[in-house]
Structures are given as C-alpha cells and as structure tokens.
Structure 1
Amino acid sequence: MTKNEKQTILTEIDDKLFHITLNRPDKLNALSPQLLAELKEALDEAAEDTDIAVIVLKSAGPVFSPGYDISEENWIISQFPADYPEGVNLHQDRLDIHELLDYWLALWKYPKPIVARVQGPCLSGAGELIAMSDIVIAGKSARFGHPAARDLGIPPTVFLWPLLIGMRKTKELLYTAKLIDADEAVTLGLVNEAVADNELDDRVLEVACDIALSPVDHLTLLKESANGWYENMGFEASARRAADLDAVFHQSPTFKEFFKTVKEKGMKVALEIRQKRFSTSGK
C-alpha cells in the first residue's frame, strides 16, 4: 500500500485500486483550481500505471463537496465577478467556461473506471465530478442538486441529467434548485446504490474490487463502448451549447447583483441575502 499527500488531495494505491480523496474538509471540499489541477495530475499518473484497474474517488469529512469554491482567491475561472461591476467580459468568460468543460470532457474520456463514494451534500459543480464518474455509491446522508441554478449559472455538462434522469426531472431540479436524497437519486438513475453511511466504505471497496477482477484493457474498451452511445447522441455538442449559455447567464442582473453585494458587504452577507431570497427552494 503506497500513500501520497498533495495539498488538496490524498492518494493511496492498494493492489489494483487507486484511491483519491478530496482533502479540503475545512472548505467542505469545495472545488478550487488547485484541487482540480492536483486531481488531474493524480489521474494522469494512474492512467499510466498498468497495475491500476480502478479509481476510487472520495472526500474527507462529512461533506462530499458543495461544488466550486466561490471565494475570490479560489474562483474557478479568470474573472472574479465582484471585480467587474458592469459584468464580466463575455468573450473571456465563454473561453474560460469552455476550458472548464474541456477538463470535464477529459475526465469523461478517462481510460479507467471511476467509482465515486458520496456522503453528505454533493452540489452544483460537484455534480459534474460524479457525472463524469462511472459508478456512484452514495451514503444515506447524501444530497444532490444545483442550488446555484437560481442565480449563479449553468453547469456546462448539466451533470448529464438529461441523459441520466430524463427531461421532466432535469427541468424540475434546475427550475426549483431543490435537493434530492440518496434514495430518490437511485430511483432516478443518478447514482447506482444508496447504503447506510456506516456501510459505505465496505460497499465501495466491494464494488471496486469486483470491477478490478477484469483485465484493465478490457475495462477501457467496455468504458469506451458505453460512452460512445452518448457521444453519438450529441453529448459534447449539447455541453458546448450549455457552456455558451452559462456565459450568457453570467450577464444577468441577478448574477451581477449577487457579486455587487459580495464587493460591498462581503461573501457572508451576500449568501445570507441570497438564502432569504430563495428560501422556498429547499436549500
């Protein structure tokens, strides 16, 4: 068993399994540029290791991840909106969002199966992370949704919701920004299984070890053949359009208003005002 520690993730090799743990529990494992860069570096290394068959993706603490880090120092793309009172530059924003989409598409094409272990809230940008995973096992404490849909943006991949859970439920979750629990996520096909939190580690390990019995090359071919169906249905083209629409969304009055408040009164106050404004959404 080999362990390694970066600043925002932990990695461990155990036989044919490569465990990656998001390790920003003080920030609830919010996705920062550094975390995504370190995750990519770890995955690239594992892709080259012919002894590794399966990636196990998890996070430290009681929260899987609330999504992208929205602090100025860890804003995921180049323009922090609070610094642009008239609105971010649309062209640059579009380029940035497509670059972020490229990150997720590379993960979609990753050659080895990724098994995600989810506990607690898995929201907004974190939904893109599990959407690019192959198998998702959730603890009963897990909650899924996109609270940011109210006023902060569109996930470029739309979490694969239109493909995974269908048109009606996708629209309901986007329009209302409500959260669903682990059992409903299973019913909808968003995750594979929901188990008691105290059984989550054992079940994830059991599933990952079962997958790892297959030869690595075979798993790569199986993944590519399954993904090909969705690619032929226009998955990437649809995601590119969503990325464009996200850039347009960022020009909206509510988006600008939120970050104007951030600039004038700070993030905490902006979030409190936002919570009151959308308090009926179930967030």
Structure 2
Amino acid sequence: MSAVRTEQHGVVAEVVLNRPEKLNAFNDDLFDAYERTLADLATDDSVSVVIVRGEGRAFSVGWDVGKQPSADREDSGYHQRIAHADWLRLRPQLRAFTAVFEFPKPVVAAVHGFCMGGATLIPNCSDLAVVGNDTKIGWPVLPIGGGMLGPVSSYAIGSKKARELSYTAGSFMMGPEAAQRGFANYSVPEQDVLSKARELAYEVSKTPRDMLEIKKRAANDVLNRQGFRDTLEVCATWDALIHTSAGNEHMSQTLAELGIKAARQWYAEGGSIPQPAEAAAGSSID
C-alpha cells in the first residue's frame, strides 16, 4: 500500500496521507512519497488547487517516534557532533512538512481527528485550512525537542498563544479555537471537514490557474517580508540545539526507562521539576 495516494476531481487534486493504521505518522517512506507527489502536481497543468488530508481517524500525529536516532554517548564530542547530525536529519523533514508553502498552487488542508506535533506545520503553511470541531491540534505530550512548531505558529495564532503552546507540554487547541485564532478558515462538524474543504477548493479553482499562482506568490511575499521563510530555515537549527540540552537529555532518558504512558504520568505529577536539594546543588552565590 502506498504511503500517499492521489485522487483528482476535475481541477482539484487530493493528496491523501495513507498510513491509517499508524494515524498517518510520518516516516521516511511517507516523507518521500509526499514530496514526490507534490512535485508531480506542481507541474501538472490539469490541477489548479490541492487538498491535503489524512486517511482514517486522523489527519496525522506527526513524526513516527517508533525509532529514535542513536549516538555514542562516550564520545567527548557527543553534543557538538550530534547537533550537526541532528540538524542534517531534521532539514529534509522540515522541508517536507512545509512544502505546501513553496508549492506554486493554492493548498487547502482538510484536518480531522488529530493533528499533532510536526503535522501542525502542514495547515500552518497551507493557504487555507478546514478543521473539525472535535479535532485536536496539539503539541508533544512531553517536552522533548520543540524548536519548530512555536516559531512557525506565531504567524497564524500570535506570539503569546504560540509561546503558551510551546512552553506547556501536552497543550492543544480544539477546532473552534483554531479557527477563531486564525490557524484555520473554518471549523465545522467532524463529518463535514472534507466536504467543506472540497467546496472551498472548488470555489478557489474558478479563478484562472495562472492568476492563482501569482496571487499565492504575492501573499507569500508578504509573509516572507515579515520573516516567515527565514523562520522556516532556522527551525531545524533551534530543534537540533534543544536536543543537546541537559533537560532534553533527561526527558529522553526518562521516556526510554519508563515508556510513554508512565513518563506522561511522571511528568504530570511534576517529576521533571528540580527538588530543592537538586536546585541548591546547581546554584552558587558569588
């Protein structure tokens, strides 16, 4: 089964994330298929508008965290070496998640069920988005990594809300709040997400394709003058840097030792907060 499939309805093409058994979590196969599909549609003169959606119960839960990169922790140059390797690993992932921004034609994200972690970058970078009233748009449940989502989201939902979501592990917005804050154009009943996205895409497609491409470039130009493209470029750098922090290392080790369910409970109960003796040991007064 292909990780991504394409459906075409007149001049509107639908890119369908197709790992429903994994809630459309992105792995290497899905990243590659997704980028190839968008590249093909970019030069297809029969397509004016694209809808991106997920098969099954969710739009996407973001990265597939089933396999984590390893490193030799005995190497004295561990942090410097892994930061560069991590940066190289993250750049193509970021490129895939944000590809809809550079795509020359309007993209409508049809978001239902769950849209978590890195997957939030797709509706953030799409031209238009429709979300379900019961759709959960969320940040990672544990503070591991986190240099991408907040900076990109600030353009759509404002700096204060983006910081709140970024600083607070497990935070989320439901569909109505996402639409009210500008993350999406519409929040509709869950079963109506795709029909509303198709209605919107059809209305957009009435504008001649060459005019749509110019309009998109003009709209993107405004965001780029505000620094959006530079923000996309630097996101992988911040994420790679945060992966070298002592706090992130501690969280990762705890997750590995306890497993996701127990680690979430540990975090919810304040297990990550330094105790007074630990805090005193790490402080000094001149």
Superposition TM-score, scaled by structure 2 size = 0.84
Aligned match of 2:165 in 136, 152, 173? 173
Q: Aligned to 1:206, what secondary structure does the other structure show?
A: helix
Aligned match of 2:56 in 58, 61, 79? 61
Paired residues of 2:118 and 2:149 also in contact (CA < 8 A): no
In structure 1, runs of 5+ residues without a counterpart are 1-5
Aligned-pair CA distance for 1:233: 1.4
Corresponding residue for 2:212? 219
Aligned match of 1:120 in 113, 126, 141? 113
2:39 counterpart of 1:47: no
Q: Aligned to 2:229, what secondary structure does the other structure show?
A: helix
RMSD, aligned α-carbons: 2.2
Aligned-pair CA distance for 1:38: 0.4
Matches within 5 A, 1:234-273: 234-260=227-253, 269-273=258-262
Q: Which moved more, 1:56-65 or 1:233-242?
A: 233-242
2:3 counterpart of 1:8: yes
Aligned-pair CA distance for 1:137: 0.4
Deviation track 1:139-190 (CA, whole Å, cap 9, x = no partner) reads: 1121112125x42112536463111111111111111131111011111111
Paired residues of 2:98 and 2:121 also in contact (CA < 8 A): no
Whichever residue aligns with residue 154 of structure 2, its letter is: P
Matches within 5 A, 1:1-283: 7-72=2-67, 80-81=69-70, 83-85=71-73, 89-147=82-140, 150-156=142-148, 158=150, 160-177=152-169, 178-260=171-253, 269-279=258-268
Paired residues of 2:26 and 2:64 also in contact (CA < 8 A): yes
Paired residues of 1:85 and 1:260 also in contact (CA < 8 A): no
Paired residues of 2:42 and 2:105 also in contact (CA < 8 A): yes
Aligned-pair CA distance for 1:101: 3.1
Whichever residue aligns with residue 259 of structure 2, its letter is: A
Mapped to 2, the partners of 1:254 and 1:167 lie a distance apart of 24
Whichever residue aligns with residue 8 of structure 1, its letter is: A
Q: Aligned to 1:147, what secondary structure does the other structure show?
A: coil
Deviation track 1:245-269 (CA, whole Å, cap 9, x = no partner) reads: 2111111234334444566x5xxx4
Mapped to 1, the partners of 2:195 and 2:87 lie a distance apart of 42
Paired residues of 1:28 and 1:64 also in contact (CA < 8 A): yes
Corresponding residue for 1:3? none
Aligned-pair CA distance for 1:241: 3.2
Q: Aligned to 2:63, what secondary structure does the other structure show?
A: coil
How many equivalent pairs are there? 264
Q: Cα distance 1:85–1:270, how it changes in 2: closer, same or farther (>3 A)?
A: farther
Mapped to 2, the partners of 1:170 and 1:202 lie a distance apart of 29
Whichever residue aligns with residue 131 of structure 1, its letter is: N
Q: Aligned to 1:278, what secondary structure does the other structure show?
A: helix
Deviation track 1:202-259 (CA, whole Å, cap 9, x = no partner) reads: 2111111111111111111101100101111122223333322211111123433444
Aligned-pair CA distance for 1:85: 4.0
Q: Aligned to 1:57, what secondary structure does the other structure show?
A: strand
Q: Aligned to 2:16, what secondary structure does the other structure show?
A: strand
Q: Which has the larger radius of gyration?
A: 2
Whichever residue aligns with residue 260 of structure 2, its letter is: L
Whichever residue aligns with residue 24 of structure 1, its letter is: R
Q: Cα distance 1:215–1:100, how it changes in 2: closer, same or farther (>3 A)?
A: same
Mapped to 2, the partners of 1:100 and 1:156 lie a distance apart of 11
Q: Aligned to 2:259, what secondary structure does the other structure show?
A: helix
Q: Which moved more, 1:110-119 or 1:239-248?
A: 239-248
Q: Cα distance 1:58–1:155, how it changes in 2: closer, same or farther (>3 A)?
A: farther
Q: Cα distance 1:30–1:280, how it changes in 2: closer, same or farther (>3 A)?
A: farther
